Amino acid sequence: MKKKVNCILLIDDDEPTNYLHQILLEDMDIADEIIAMQNAEEALEFLKSEEEGEHPQPDIIFLDINMPVMNGWEFLEEYNKLPISQKGKHVMIMLTTSVNPDDKHKANQDGIVQDFINKPLEESVVRKIVGEFF
């Protein structure tokens, strides 16, 4: 039986990247729900929202670093302030095109970020993440 997660949240300001990642994840049938957001502030509001008394708790968050309005680092800073009920069981993965070694070092020091990978997402990487954490 294939491992499957409940929900994956994609946060990336680049609409084509979100679209390609969403198609990949849908084709893999790896999640019951895939949510793509182009703005980190909207993603925070989504995590704070409630439906039937429950906060959405994506199993995996793929987070871009370089975004306008609120970048990935600023998102992590605000995410750290959320109560545990709004964080849930997230696996936080930084997605980037950055070749700056300081970004990888900073992500590794954060404590929340479990992995730092280059875009675009690949099936083998997603399977590795799901296999490792679920």
pLDDT tens readout for residues 70-114: 999 999 999 999 988 887 677 999 998 877 778 777 777 777 889
Q: Which residues contact 86 (CB under 8 A, 6 or more apart)?
A: 47, 48, 55, 57
| pLDDT-based confidence at residue 1 (cuts at 50, 70, 90) | very low
Q: Which residue is listed with tokens 């198609």?
A: 23
d(CA 32, CA 41): 24
Q: State pTM to two decimals.
A: 0.91
The pLDDT of residue 64 is 94
The pLDDT of residue 58 is 92
Torsion-angle region of 15 (φ positive above 0: left; ψ -120 to 50: alpha; else: beta): alpha
- For the chain, which domains are there? 5-133 (3.40.50.2300)
